[in-house]
Amino acid sequence: MKKSTFIITKMDCPSEEQMIRMKLESYAQVKHLDFDIPNRKLEIYHVDGVKAIQTSIASLKLGDSFEGTTEAETPVMEDQSKQKRILWWVLGINFGFFVIEMTTGWISSSMGLVADSLDMLADSIVYALSLFAVGGAISRKKKVAKFSGYFQMALATLGFAEVLRRFFSDTETPLFQWMIIVSIFALL
C-alpha cells in the first residue's frame, strides 16, 4: 500500500472534498482518501502508480501540488455503526422538533414555525436517507443525494406557496408568544 500526499490550496470546504471524491471514485487502485480540509491536505492510499490520480486531481484546477509518495499501512476505517448511531440521534431530534414546530405553528397560525418545521422535516428525510447510504456504493450515495435535493426543493416550493397564500388572503396575526417559546427550544 502506498500513500500519496497532495496539498490542494483551493480545498476549503466539503464541496471541494466531494468534487475530488467523485473524480477519483472510478479508480480501482484508490483504497482510501483522508482529507484534512483546514490544512488543505489530501492523503490518498492506493496501489500501483499515482500518475493517473495526479492528472485527475489537476484537472479540477484546485491549486494542487504533489508532495510525494511513501509506503504505508492501510488506514483503519471509521466504524459505520458509530455513524449510524449518530445519524439515528440527529434524525430523532430533527423529527421531534418537526412535530413540535408543525403542531405549534398550526395552532398559533405562525408560518415561521411551519416553515422551520418543514426545514426540520427535510433534514430528517436527509438523515434517514443517509442511514440508507452509509456503507453503500458511491452510485447509491449519488442517487440518495439527488433524491434529497429534489425533496428539499419540493418542500421549499410548498412553503413558498403557503407564504403567498397567506400574503394574498386575510389571515389572523400569529400568536407570537408560542413562536418565541418554540423558537428558543429549536435554537437550543
Question: Rounded CA gap, 65 and 83, in Å?
Answer: 32
Cα torsion for 21, 23, 26, 30, to the nearest 10°?
-50
15-40 pLDDT, tens digit per residue, is 788 889 888 888 888 888 888 888 99
Note the pLDDT tens digit of each residue in 70-111.
998 877 666 567 777 888 888 899 899 899 988 988 888 887
Provide CB contacts within 8 A for 185, sequence distance 6+. 97, 100
Cα angle 17, 19, 24; round to 5: 95
β-bridge mates for residue 32, sequence order: 45
- N-term to C-term CA, the chain: 45
Question: Per-residue pLDDT tens for 116-132?
Answer: 888 888 888 878 877 77
The residues, any chain, with a CB within 8 Å of residue 113's CB and separated by 6 or more, are 101, 102, 104, 105, 178, 179, 182, 183
